[in-house]
Amino acid sequence: MSTHPGYRVQDPATDQVVETFDALQDAEIDPVLARAAEAQRAWAARPIEERGEVVRKVADLFAERKDELARIIAEEMGKRVAEGVEEAEFCEAIFGYFAEKGPALAADRPIETFSGGRAMIRHLPLGVLLGIMPWNFPYYQIARFAAPNLMLGNAIVLKHAEICPRSAQAVQRIMDDAGVPEGVYTNVFATHEQIATIIADPRVQGVSLTGSERAGAVVGALAGQHLKKAVLELGGSDPYIVLDTDDVAEAARTAWATRMYNMGQACNSNKRMIVSADLHDAFVAELVSLAQAMRPGESASEDETVYTPLSSRAAAEALAEQVARAREQGATVHVGGELTDDAGAYFSPTVITGVTAEMDAYREELFGPVAVVYRADSAEEALALANDSQYGLGGAVFSRDQELAEGVARRLEVGMANVNTPAGEGAEIPFGGVKRSGFGRELGPLGMDEFVNKQLYFVHD
């Protein structure tokens, strides 16, 4: 397995390192944090509407530069160019939403008091925040964290994934060009050791991480040790329950398109498809025919039967190992599960059935183009299977009987439950999970409720 430590662009189609970047020097940490702390105080002192004008410009620049932004991540982590454009457009929507709604969301909230006087909750910034972001949505992940916190008057130090240095720099340019003051948003190519130093620093008031459970456990422990507020958005193995349908082939096509988005590298992808026994075989047959029709190709292709590489050769090898282990333990791999060459990160789309509770694949997250289908004899059995997971990010329930679907969806142990759609999505829709999928919420009204001092302000009569 090839390993290239450090910040670099490593083309996932070939595994070739295209460009390397210097990591932050230890001596640079203090000046970065000193600048951030000073800039944050000045930024927080400006009226929120003024901050909103700057955040609105950030939104506009994401829209203006979407084609260039998409090309950058196609080379960094293999994302289909059309999906990269969509991602940049979503960032425009997120920054735009918080620019517009932020002043109302952060407004003073009067509360009832029984002892005379006036009581209210104020929403004040915490200070300097550290963001640790993953490679799977290099822009969107930053937007979810940065947009509400810039509106609140926090300052951001941003550490991106080691394979996303160009997209990290592109976002820094957007912030600078939009008029975000120097020090209010700072991209750093920090090492893991430096991250620990930054979290420990008293000038840093909080840390937000999107990533693996393992990374979340490390960062959560550091945050706890130093008494810092943390938001963790970790892995998922979302259930996708199909109780009944008028058109089983169409239901399978929707499930497949959802699973293949970003080559299956989404935290809230439908990793466990739980299908009624009477539909199961026809559903699986349709998935298999869809998988068989797919061929490796270029990120620039608009053809839905073309699949692009995973983020890295290492990721593809790890997924191949998980699929091989499922097969060894007795699951049926109907199609796919193969690395298509000796170097790149192309991994053939896969359909698996027959996974049981004794197998590793039952518990693990499969981060890639793998559809795992379970058979359920009843809605109750489907629900029990859905909730038998250490994860609790999202989930979806489909049925012609909406009341039945809603009854099942309401009992899902997840942060985001959806009825008759793979996922409710939008700048206004909160995102986050429970159990080992982490804690805290991003986006929507809850996105401005995390890194904030909800100060009680009481005036005696």
**Which letter, b or e, does each residue of 84-97 get, where b requires 16 or more Cβ atoms within 10 Å of its Cβ?**
bbbbbbbbbbbbbb
Residues 6 or more apart in contact with residue 348 via CB below 8 angstroms: 291, 294, 296, 307, 335, 336, 337, 338, 340, 369
pTM score, two decimals?
Answer: 0.97
Per-residue model confidence (pLDDT) at position 1: 38
What's the CATH code, domain 7-234+436-459? 3.40.605.10
Q: What is the pLDDT of residues 31-52, one digit of tens each?
A: 999 999 999 999 999 999 999 9
- Sheet of strand 109-111: strand arrangement: 109-111, 118-125, 452-459
SS3 state at 344: coil
- For residue range 378-432, what is the model confidence (pLDDT) as tens digits? 999 999 999 999 999 999 999 999 999 999 999 999 999 999 999 999 999 999 9
Domain boundaries, the chain: 7-234+436-459, 239-426
Active site residues: 233, 267
Please, where are the H alpha helices in 65-139?
66-77, 81-105
457 has pLDDT over 50:
yes
Amino acid at the residue 31: P
β-pair partners for 395: 417
182: left (phi over 0), alpha (psi -120 to 50) or beta: beta
Model pLDDT, residue 2: 44
Cα distance between the two ends of the chain: 70
Residue 258: burial class (beta carbons within 10 Å; 0-12, 13-18, 19+)? buried
Q: How far apart are CA 330 and CA 102, in angstroms?
A: 52
Give residue-wise pLDDT tens across range 91-134.
Answer: 999 999 999 999 999 999 999 999 889 999 999 999 999 999 99
The CATH homologous superfamily of the domain defined by 239-426? Aldehyde Dehydrogenase; Chain A, domain 2 (3.40.309.10)
**C-alpha 445: how far from chain center:** 18
Q: For residue 336, which of 359, 303, 378, 368 has the smallest C-alpha distance?
A: 368
